[in-house]
Amino acid sequence: MISRLLRSPQAGLSLVILIAAIGLALTAGSHVDPATGNNVNNFLNAHTLFQMATDASGFAIMAVGATIVIISGGIDLSAGAVYALAGVVMAMVLRAVGPLDPVLTVALGLGTCIVVSLACGIANGVMVVGLQVHPFIITLGTMWIVRGIAFVASHAESILVPPALTHVAKASLGLNPTLSPVPLLAMLGVGTLGSIYLTRTVMGRHIFAVGGNAEASRFAGLPVQRIRLGVFVLSGLTAGAAAFLGASFYGSATSSDANGYELYVIASAVVGGASLTGGKGSAVSAMLGAMLIVLIRQAIRTLHLDQNYEWIIIGGAMIVAVVLDQGGTKLVARRVAAAAGRNPTSSMPPAPESK
């Protein structure tokens, strides 16, 4: 079991995160909790950890969608904008209908987010497939268009969402009332679903095939265009889910929400080992990638480093992570090649005997 874990593709990244977390815990120092009088580690305490999970949840959920697109050989730059539009439209719809039963409010909110993000995803996919334009360009365009729609629709105001939503998103689920495990659970849930989708279903397998070799997939009779369209729908949906969670948790939505998230999201997927040439990636790894980025941000705060350096550090760390991952891939490839050289696979075996 342990050896299987060690050999899993996530082993390297998990180890890096673990080491970074231990290092941070050891150097973070501690403070006295005024409520209990206990001495607590500045990093390793329930409150900070849940806070980090909440920070990570938004783009970790979207990173699962981004990874699916990247595995298919595409890219989606519009995720952050879709997040903003879904949040804004949900807030406006809920404000327009006025007070409702809490369950209805949550259902209507979630439904609105899903409808909006689904529409954006379909628009992206239809344009990429129908216009035969590279997804980078299409989603760069829709990124501005969608955020622009959110801006115009909301008049650039911050719109409050009903407290019913916040109650759900901040529910303590029986833990200490100051802790909010819902974003963490949502993140783990989406990661698990994404992982199962990619590794256990026919559609998931088709996505890997199209990203690995679209031409060969066409020759194997796969509906390549439909698969290419579908991944954008999924990416849109994860943005909608993240928007519902985010707007509910923070209690409001504006057109500038999740600004720049598209790049955090792609960075998470890439740090998680997804290849921009397609055919390679993992939903769980993308989530781990998101966690690593959040961990770095947290380290800057916990260690009282100058926050102005945040972007420089994250940028550098991302490049280092990808280079390390590539080095590891090459090493594995060389080992495989060496093993193949030792036992050549071709000899002169007998032909099928039944004649």
Partner 1 sequence: MASPAVRFSGVTKRYPGVVALNGVSFEVAAASCHAVCGENGAGKSTLGKLLSGIDRPDGGAIEIDGRPVRFASPAEALTAGVAMVHQELASCANLSVAENLCLGAMPSRWTFVDRAAMRARAIELLVDIGSEIDVTKPMSTLSVAEQQLVQIASAVGSGARIIVFDEPTSSLSEGEAARLYALVRRLTARGTTLIYVSHRMPEIFRLSDHVTVLRDGEHVATRATTELDESELVQLMIGRKLDQYFPSHVGAAPREELLSVRGLSSPGKFYDISFSLRAGEVLGLAGLIGAGRSEIAKALFGLDPNVTGQLRLDGKPVQIRSARDAMRLGIGLVPEDRKVEGLVLSMSGRENVTLPVLDRVSTRSWIRSSEERAVAQKYFERLRVKVASADAPASGLSGGNQQKLVLARWIAAGSKILILNEPTRGVDVGAKAELHAWIDQLASEGHAILLISSELPELLHLATRIIVLRQGRVAGEVARESADQESLLRMMAGLDAAAHPPASTRARA
Q: What does the binding site for partner 1 look like in residue numbers (CB under 8 A)? A: 200-203, 205-206, 208-209, 212-213, 215-223, 279-280, 336-337, 339-340, 343-349, 351-352, 354-355
Radius of gyration for the chain, computed over Cα atoms and rounded to the nearest angstrom:
23
**Tokens at 68, concatenated:** 């699916």
Between residues 109 and 278, which has the closer beta carbon with respect to partner 1?
A: 278
What's the residue count for the chain? 355
Task: Look at residue 346 and give its three-state secondary structure.
Answer: coil
The CA distances from residue 48 to 5, 55, 303, in Å, are: 27, 10, 13
Sign, Cα dihedral of 236, 238, 242, 247: positive
Between residues 99 and 223, which has the closer beta carbon with respect to partner 1?
A: 223
Burial tier of 228 (Cβ tally within 10 Å: 0-12, 13-18, 19+): buried
Task: Look at residue 40 and give its three-state secondary structure.
Answer: strand
Between residues 280 and 297, which has the closer beta carbon with respect to partner 1?
A: 280
**Tokens at 95, concatenated:** 């404000």
Between residues 1 and 337, which has the closer beta carbon with respect to partner 1?
A: 337
Query: Cβ of residue 232: shortest distance to partner 1, in angstroms?
Result: 19
Residue 196 is which amino acid? Answer: I
Q: How far apart are CA 43 and CA 277, in angstroms?
A: 37
Residues 126-161: b if buried by 16+ CB within 10 A, e if exposed: ebbbeeeeebeebbeebbeebbebbbeebeeeebeb
Q: Are 124 and 139 in contact (CB under 8 A)?
A: yes
Between residues 147 and 280, which has the closer beta carbon with respect to partner 1?
A: 280
Q: How far apart are CA 180 and CA 187, in angstroms?
A: 13
The answer for residues whose C-beta is within 8 angstroms of residue 211's C-beta and 6 or more apart is: 70, 71, 72, 73, 278, 279, 280
Between residues 39 and 347, which has the closer beta carbon with respect to partner 1?
A: 347
Query: Cβ of residue 9: shortest distance to partner 1, in angstroms?
Result: 13
Between residues 67 and 217, which has the closer beta carbon with respect to partner 1?
A: 217
Query: Cβ of residue 221: shortest distance to partner 1, in angstroms?
Result: 4
Q: Provide the 10 A C-beta neighbour count for residue 175.
A: 12
Between residues 35 and 339, which has the closer beta carbon with respect to partner 1?
A: 339
Query: Cβ of residue 332: shortest distance to partner 1, in angstroms?
Result: 10
Residue 230 is which amino acid? Answer: G
Query: Cβ of residue 203: shortest distance to partner 1, in angstroms?
Result: 6
The answer for residues whose C-beta is within 8 angstroms of residue 198's C-beta and 6 or more apart is: 67, 68, 71, 204, 207, 208, 281, 282, 283
Between residues 184 and 227, which has the closer beta carbon with respect to partner 1?
A: 227
Between residues 304 and 334, which has the closer beta carbon with respect to partner 1?
A: 334
Query: Cβ of residue 117: shortest distance to partner 1, in angstroms?
Result: 22
- Given the DSSP bridges, would you call strands 39-41 and 30-32 parallel, antiparallel or unpaired? antiparallel
Query: Cβ of residue 275: shortest distance to partner 1, in angstroms?
Result: 9
Query: Cβ of residue 334: shortest distance to partner 1, in angstroms?
Result: 12
